[in-house]
Amino acid sequence: MTATVSFSSTRSTRPRKVRDVRRFQRIVAAVVLPVPATAAAIGRLLVTDDSDTRSALDMIAADPGRQFTFALLGFIAMLTVVPAFLAAARLARRRRPVLTMIALGVNLIAYLGGWALPALDNMYIAASQLPPEQRDGAAALIDAMWSDGLAGISTLLMVIGHVLGAILMGLALRGSIPTVGWVAMILSQPGHVFAFIVFPSPVMDALAWGLMALAFAICAVTVLRTPDDEWDLPPRS
């Protein structure tokens, strides 16, 4: 005779509980959205006149803390600008998916390809700490990097992509955020052109960045008001 022994299973049959992080994602997105443009706007008020690189190095050497703050704000802006545009794109994608995809692609190319700008900002700090007799060579190197090689391509990508990408994203956000938000994002770009070509002024450029900060702040409020089910799909058990 064969005895059959059965063992009761100790494995739980209850479904595994998966945490829903959509609300947390929305809060983080809302916090990050205004950061890059706000940091850039404040930074423009601290920029040193670099029309003459050699003179700029002397001015930075006299007040290195100012350039360090400017470079730090630029680093913060570059660190957060891609997440900010990703969050804005999530708002825009349901109404205008194709335009949102194009706008996001242009912005990603611009900001991921714009690595040279924060690098050059830090080069000004390092070059200003050199002895005065060595700053001529450092200034010549910085001038060459602005226009030649990969650094020049990076700068060109950033400038063109930043202007075009913000305009496209503003158009993509129509209907997803209040009108003042997407209009502010579009108008920020002619503001940059005006600040650099028509009436060169760091204050004017800071105001242009302020318009983009306003647009992102409105996006942040909209993100907070967006239901979780419209923000993303729920997790699967």
Q: What angle do CA 119, 114, 145 make, to 5 degrees?
A: 50
The whole-number pLDDT of residue 169 equals 97
Give the pLDDT of the chain (237 residues) as one tens digit per residue.
455 555 444 555 566 677 888 899 999 999 999 999 999 999 999 988 888 899 999 999 999 999 999 999 999 999 999 999 999 999 999 899 999 999 999 999 999 888 888 888 888 999 999 999 899 999 998 888 877 778 888 888 888 999 999 999 999 999 999 999 999 999 999 988 888 787 778 899 999 999 999 999 999 999 999 999 888 888 876
The whole-number pLDDT of residue 196 equals 78
DSSP state, residue 174 = B
CA atoms within 13 A on the CB side of 172: 29
Token code pair at residue 176: 């997803």
Q: How many CB atoms lie within 10 A of CB 101?
A: 14
Helix runs in the chain, H state only: 22-32, 35-44, 53-62, 64-92, 97-112, 116-128, 135-147, 149-172, 179-193, 202-225, 228-231
pTM: 0.86
The whole-number pLDDT of residue 145 equals 81
